[in-house]
Amino acid sequence: MPVNMNVMQHQLVGAYISKLALHPDGRPSSVEGLLHGLAEFVNDALGVEAMTAVYDAGTRTWRIHGVIEMIGIEKDAALDYAWHTPKRITLRMPDPELLAEGRNLAIAFDAGRQGGRIYTHQFYYDYIRDSSYKMSNGDFLDSRIADYVFSSCR
């Protein structure tokens, strides 16, 4: 079963990932640590204490309600960090099952067998079209970072 990661609050998640990228000391080594750190970051950013990271063993899901969910992973999943260097390029490959699902959906859309289009997050449209919901450049960058880090091809 593929791992599904869904981000609902791209700007907040991206801002947290940016913080981890810029300050490597103390990065969490587990998904649990990542989600607890993210919950604390979101609470601080919003001035609340309501956000918590919760694991559901039945669905193997880590979730911060309304912020992010990671489905199909073990509670004690380890966390690795990767980036490109001049001597090593890291390609994050799409999950084969999710890629096949996305490809089949795209073919169905193109052939007219199913109505709709491949989903793109609304913040892209708002920013590019300069809509009244357009976010600042910094918030857009943070949102793109979250989409980059957690996206999957479905």
Q: What is the pLDDT of residue 83?
A: 84
Segment 7-21 mean pLDDT = 95
- Percent of the chain topping pLDDT 90: 49
Question: Could you give the number of structural domains in the chain?
Answer: 1
User: pLDDT band at 18, cuts 50/70/90?
Assistant: very high
Domain containing 97 equals 4-150
- Please state, as a whole number, how many other Cβ atoms lie within 10 Å of the Cβ of residue 135: 16
- Please state, as a whole number, how many other Cβ atoms lie within 10 Å of the Cβ of residue 124: 14
pTM, to two decimals: 0.82
For residue 35, give the amino acid letter: L
Kindly state the tokens that stand for 111.
Answer: 């052939």
**CB-based contact 9:67 (threshold 8 Å):** yes
Kindly state the tokens that stand for 83.
Answer: 């980036």
The predicted-structure confidence for 95-126, as pLDDT tens digits, reads as follows: 788 888 888 888 888 888 877 777 777 877 78
Closest alpha carbon to 24 in 79, 62, 63: 79
